[in-house]
C-alpha cells in the first residue's frame, strides 16, 4: 500500500477550442509531472474547476488520469458536492477506477450545521469504505474543521487524514499531535514550509503543476534537516507564486503550461481570460524563476 505523503499536484482541467475537456492534454500533463518527480495527483478539486464540471466530465477526467498514471503515483479523487448523493455517485465511481483515496470539501452554500456536515462525511466514508481525506478549506467552504471535530470524525475507521488549506498552523499541529497516524497535507502552496514545520506530511497544491522542482526541493530539504535550504527554495517558489496570484491562479498556471508546450485553453466562465499583457509579464517571471532555481 502506498504511503500518504509527499508532493501532489492538484490537477487543472484543460479544454479544447470548443470548451470540451481536452483528455490528450491532460495525459500529457500527467506524464510531464511524473517525469518531474511529482508524488501523486489530486483530481477534480478546486484547481480542477470541479464545480464547473458535470458529473460525467468529472468521471471521465478521473479515468483519463488513472489510465496515464497507471498506478505509478498516488491518486486521490476529490468527490465533493453539495449533494450527498452526487458525492457518493462520484466516490463509488472513483473506487471502481482504483484510486488510492477519496477526498471531499464540506457541503457549502446552504450553511449546513456541524451535525449535518458530520453526517455528510460519515455517509460518504461508510458508503465507500476506503481511505478518506477531509478537505478543510474554510476560506471557500465557510466551514472550519477543528481538532475536536476531527476527534469525532476519527470514530470512523476510514479517516486517513486531512487536506489542510488554512493558515492556522496551531490547529494543524494539534491535529497531527493528537492523531499521528493520520496524514495531513498542507494546502497553501506559499506556506508549504510552515505546514511541514507544524507537522504536515506533504503538500497538495495548484502551483505544483508548474513549480514541482522547487516545491519538491522545499520538501526534500526539510526532510534532510536543512531548514535554511528549504526556506531558500520557498523564497524562489513564492516569487513565482506572487506573480501567479497577481493575474489569477488558474488562468496563470494554464498560461505557464502553455509556455511548456501544453495548450490548456482558458478556464470556464465566469473565469475571465488572461490578458496578453498578463501572459507577457508571467513569461518574464517564469524565466526568472527558472534562472533563480538553477542558481540554488
User: Would you please indicate which residues are annotated as catalytic (active-site) residues?
Assistant: 135, 163
**Distance separating alpha carbons of residues 212 and 215, to the nearest angstrom:** 5
d(CA 222, CA 281): 31
The residues facing 183 across adjacent strands are: 161
101 SS3 class: strand
Would you state the cell numbers that stand for residue 224, as one nine-digit string? 534532510
Parallel, antiparallel, or unpaired for β 183-186 and 132-136? unpaired
What are the two backbone dihedrals, phi and then psi, of residue 278, each rounded to the nearest 5 degrees? Answer: -65, -45
Residues facing 8 on adjacent strands: 40, 204
Q: What is the Cα–Cα distance from 192 to 51, expressed in whole angstroms? A: 26
Whether the CB-CB separation of 32 and 56 falls below 8 Å is answered with no
Which contiguous run of DSSP H or E holds residue 264? none
134, β-bridge pairs? 104, 162
Question: 187 to each of 7, 45, 200, 201, how far by Cα in Å?
Answer: 11, 12, 10, 11
Amino acid at each position: 500500500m502506498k504511503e500518504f505523503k509527499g508532493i501532489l499536484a492538484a490537477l487543472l482541467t484543460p479544454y479544447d477550442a470548443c470548451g470540451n475537456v481536452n483528455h490528450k492534454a491532460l495525459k500529457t500533463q500527467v506524464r510531464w509531472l511524473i517525469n518531474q518527480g511529482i508524488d501523486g495527483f489530486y483530481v477534480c478539486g478546486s484547481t480542477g474547476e470541479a464545480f464547473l464540471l458535470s458529473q460525467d466530465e468529472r468521471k471521465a477526467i478521473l479515468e483519463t488520469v488513472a489510465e496515464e498514471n497507471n498506478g505509478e503515483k498516488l491518486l486521490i479523487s476529490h468527490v465533493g458536492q453539495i449533494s450527498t448523493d452526487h458525492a457518493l455517485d462520484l466516490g463509488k465511481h472513483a473506487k471502481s477506477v482504483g484510486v488510492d483515496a477519496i477526498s471531499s470539501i464540506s457541503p457549502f452554500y446552504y450553511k449546513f450545521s456541524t451535525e449535518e456536515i458530520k453526517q455528510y462525511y460519515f455517509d460518504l466514508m461508510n458508503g465507500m469504505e476506503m481511505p478518506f481525506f477531509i478537505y478543510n478549506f474554510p476560506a471557500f467552504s465557510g466551514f472550519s474543521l477543528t481538532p475536536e471535530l476531527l476527534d469525532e470524525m476519527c470514530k470512523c475507521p476510514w479517516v486517513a487524514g486531512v487536506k489542510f488549506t488554512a493558515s492556522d498552523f496551531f490547529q494543524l499541529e494539534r491535529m497531527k499531535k493528537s492523531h499521528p497516524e493520520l496524514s495531513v497535507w498542507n494546502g497553501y502552496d506559499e506556506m508549504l514550509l510552515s505546514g511541514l514545520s507544524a507537522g504536515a506530511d506533504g503538500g497538495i497544491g495548484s502551483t505544483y503543476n508548474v513549480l514541482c522542482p522547487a516545491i519538491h526541493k522545499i520538501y526534500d530539504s526539510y526532510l534532510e534537516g536543512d531548514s535554511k535550504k528549504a526556506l531558500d527554495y520557498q523564497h524562489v517558489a513564492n516569487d513565482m507564486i506572487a506573480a501567479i496570484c497577481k493575474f489569477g491562479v488558474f488562468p496563470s498556471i494554464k498560461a505557464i503550461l502553455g509556455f511548456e508546450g501544453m495548450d490548456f485553453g482558458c478556464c470556464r466562465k465566469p473565469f475571465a481570460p488572461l490578458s496578453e499583457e498578463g501572459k507577457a509579464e508571467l513569461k518574464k517571471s517564469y524565466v526568472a524563476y527558472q534562472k533563480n532555481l538553477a542558481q540554488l
